[in-house]
Amino acid sequence: MTIRKMTPLSASLLLLTPGMALSNPDPAQFAPTAFTQEPEIVDCTLEDGSEAKCYEFTAAYKPEALEIGPFCPTNLDESGGVWDWDGEAAGLYRLDRAFFEMLADQGYRFYDENGDVAISDPGSGARPDVDHACLMATQDESVVITMRLPVEPVMAESPTDLGTVAKVGVALDGVPIFADAPSVLDTGHLPALDVCGGHIDPGGWYHWHATASDIETVYETEGVLADCAQEQDKSALFGYAFDGFPMFGSVEADGSAPEALDECGGHLGMTAQGESYHYHASESFPNLPACLVGTMAEDNFSTTADQGIGAAEMRGGGGPAGGMPPGFEEAATTLGISAETLMKAMTDAGGREADLAEVAQALGIEEEALRAALPTPGGQ
């Protein structure tokens, strides 16, 4: 295992000189089947308030030829996907008998006396009827995803931390990339990842939680027996972060280990476009940037789904259909429930002035987890 020396982000930024190329996103780098229509350049506003030009990408719920799964095993005698466990004996595991029995010893029992695993669909609108369920959403082939990346990346004044289910970027196959999936310790439930590090959002579309093109480096590092169907290349371009900077595998083009990586996992180095800032995958899970150094576009991710991250805005009167407060989709995903379920529980308990202890009890989750997931001011 290669130990990388990390440098302060400020040190990396000092190396950037005026006029230096910043590896602008290149639509030609994406797979021909990545998008449902040709990428467009549109006017956009960056998060710092400046006006800019952005590439607008439109993708389907998943690429047609993409092989996904397995996710949750139906029984302990089967092997499912993978999970990054953050409790006692933390690490990356295959979803199999040994893993679930270890969780049971720690008070998280996901199976019955016959060894059958409790499986729940987080897109169904109903919360699991057990304390601990393996979550596996259903695909919705009608969903369309729209993403925006700055045509010319702009360094931010300070990096953006990537917390649970934060938006990271888009892979060359058109699949969205997100940060850590919600922790079992917070929700009691396990949103299973497949052996390439992705799963289906409650809204019905597939996304990555890892650099799938270099995930087997992680398996070698963490001793996990799994094979991803995606072509593996440690030096390949995986995609672009939502700040417009490219994301590569864990090594340089010549096979050497990246040097002087900053706190986000990026550095100034040579790429096919010349010397520029770019990110590298790590050798442990999740092998994604820890933060983003550039400025993202406002409203850079949306879907036509009725729930989940980036869901279409709800209209109409009464209950959850009366409008979804900003951040509720992300909070619901973190908690392993649908946005409608979360909104209804909040509405029934008094809306934004709701007693969160009452809401947590109605949802069958810990109040602390609910407070941590809700957007401010509800989470304060």
Residue 113: burial class (beta carbons within 10 Å; 0-12, 13-18, 19+)? exposed
Q: What is the pLDDT of residues 50-73, one digit of tens each?
A: 999 999 999 999 999 999 999 999
Name the residue with higher pLDDT: 133 or 379. Answer: 133
What phi, psi does 322 have (nearest 5°)?
-80, 0
Residue 31 pLDDT: 96
Q: What pLDDT digit, counting tens, does each position of 5-64 carry?
A: 444 454 444 444 444 445 689 999 999 999 999 999 999 999 999 999 999 999 999 999
Give the residue among 255, 250, 254, 218 at the shortest CA–CA distance from 237. 250
In the chain, what are the helix, strand and coil shares in percent, each to the nearest 5?
Answer: 20, 25, 55
Domain ranges for the chain: 6-66+140-301, 322-373
For residue 67, which amino acid is it?
A: E
8 vs 198: CA distance, rounded Å: 30
Residue 311: the pLDDT is 84
What's the rounded Cα separation, in Å, for the pair 12 and 288? 18
Residues 289-335 have pLDDT tens digits of 999 999 999 999 999 998 888 886 432 333 332 344 556 767 877 88
β-pairing, 119-120 with 134-135? parallel
Specify the amino acid at residue 235: S
H or E segment to which residue 208 belongs? strand 206-208
The residue-averaged pLDDT of 203-222 equals 97
Q: List, for residues 108-134, the tens digit of each pLDDT value.
A: 999 999 999 999 999 887 788 899 999
**Rg (alpha carbons) of the chain, rounded to whole number:** 21
Q: What is the pLDDT of residues 136-186, one digit of tens each?
A: 999 999 999 999 999 999 999 999 988 778 899 999 999 999 998 889 998
Instruction: Identify the pLDDT of residue 283.
Output: 96
Given strand 176-178, what is the order of strands in its sheet? 198-200, 206-208, 176-178, 167-171, 237-241, 246-248, 274-280, 266-271
Tell me the three state secondary structure of residue 346: helix
Mean per-residue pLDDT, 189-199: 97
* Residues with Cβ within 8 Å of residue 333, at least 6 apart in sequence: 122, 165, 182, 201, 202, 308, 309, 339
pLDDT band at 356 (very low <50, low <70, confident <90, very high): confident
Q: Confirm whether pTM is higher than 0.85.
A: no
105-115: pLDDT as tens digits:
999 999 999 99
- Which residues are bridge partners to 43 per DSSP? 53
Q: What is the pLDDT of residue 351?
A: 55
- Give the pLDDT of residue 364: 82
